[in-house]
Amino acid sequence: MVQLHLKRGDESQFLFNTTVEVLLDTLIQQISAIYNGRLKVDRICSEIPELADHGITLPPNMQGLTDDQIVDLKLRDEWEDKCVPSGGPVLRKDEIGRRNGHAPNEKMKEVLLKTMEESRALISKKQVQANVCSTMEVVKEALDQLRGAVMIVYPMGLPPHDPIRMEFENQEDLSGTQAALQVITKDECQLWWAAKEMQRGKKLQDYIGKNEKTKIVVKIQKSGQGAPAREPLITEEQQKQMMMHHYRRQEDLKKLEDADDDSHLDSEWSDRQALKRQFQGLNNIKWGPR
């Protein structure tokens, strides 16, 4: 199997196993699906703590309004009585006015937060260091875990305008957000290796050869953004090791320079002729008048 180390810019994303026979059209589709799926999991996980702390999202026309404004405008959240967390709600007001403040109890909150951590671990970038490859099945498993936890806490489901439900149903609206800049659709996804774009219509072996036991670094890029930056000749960790070695070498040379003192040559223990004179009885001879 060929192992691809996928990066976006200089940041590692995930590892992916494939074969040299794979069509690049298929490979791009597989990689973009995993890449965007991981982003979806991360977006849902970023909303889970808010759901656990402050309950479901208010309707768009009520968000950001004060209680007095809601009363004056005679607005009502019709989903408040439908989407009640298991075990009953706990009142925790959302200061920014985005959620209704009817939060799950501590036990249900723990279910949400624990599942969030487990799902994040599945798509973590630390999996690259652990040499664990990502697949679409892993992404689906993370999404299923999150969906199951939300159903446990909210058996009646979430309102249709809640961003978590919209993510599960692929109805999310990311326009005008930073998250939208991270998404790369399969049509605009490009793969780069060795400063070359891997063209659709070809096979992977047209670029890397027929050796299946190959590991390469591939850059994910959005079309129209040009070639990504080249990989550095040495990694950041290697650079740190080289600097540490250079520092230790400088310290050793400094110690040797400080110790470069030949005054010890006048010492009795350094006299090479001492043993010879001892056998000849010539030790402790003084010249001069008594």
Which residues are bridge partners to 223 per DSSP?
A: none
- 145 is written with which tokens? 């875990």
Inter-helix orientation angle 136-153/24-54, to 10°: 20
Q: Can you read off the two tokens belonging to residue 284? A: 């402790």
pLDDT score for 227? 80
- CA atoms 65, 66, 72, 77: torsion sign: positive
Q: Which residues contact 261 (CB under 8 A, 6 or more apart)?
A: none
- Mean pLDDT by 10-residue block, N- to C-terminus, for the chain (290 residues)? 92 94 96 96 96 94 87 87 92 91 95 96 93 96 97 94 95 89 93 92 94 93 82 72 86 76 59 68 62
Q: CB within 8 A of 12, min separation 6: which ones?
A: 5, 6, 125, 128
Tell me, letter by letter, the H, E, C secondary structure of the chain: CEEEEEEECCEEEEEEEECCCCEHHHHHHHHHHHHHHHHHHHHHHHHHHHHHHHCCECCCCCCCCCHHHHHHCCCCCCCCCCCCCCCCCEECCCCCCCECCEECCHHHHHHHHHHHHHHHHHCCCHHHHCCCECCHHHHHHHHHHHHHHHHHHCCCCCCCCCHHHHHHCCCCCCCCCHHHHHCCCCCCEEEEECCEECCCCCECHHHHCCCCCCEEEEEEEECCCCCCCCCCCCCHHHHHHHHHHHHHHHHHHHHHHHCCCCHHHHCHHHCCCHHHHHHCCCCCCCCCCC
**7/11 Cα distance (integer angstroms):** 6
How far is CA 127 from each of CA 16, 34, 130, 134, 188, rounded to the nearest angstrom?
11, 14, 5, 8, 26
Decide: helix, strand or coil at residue 245: helix
24 contacts 191 by C-beta, under 8 angstroms? yes
Helix (H) or strand (E) holding 221: strand 215-222
Model confidence, pTM = 0.78
Q: What is residue 251's predicted lDDT score, i.e. its pLDDT?
A: 85
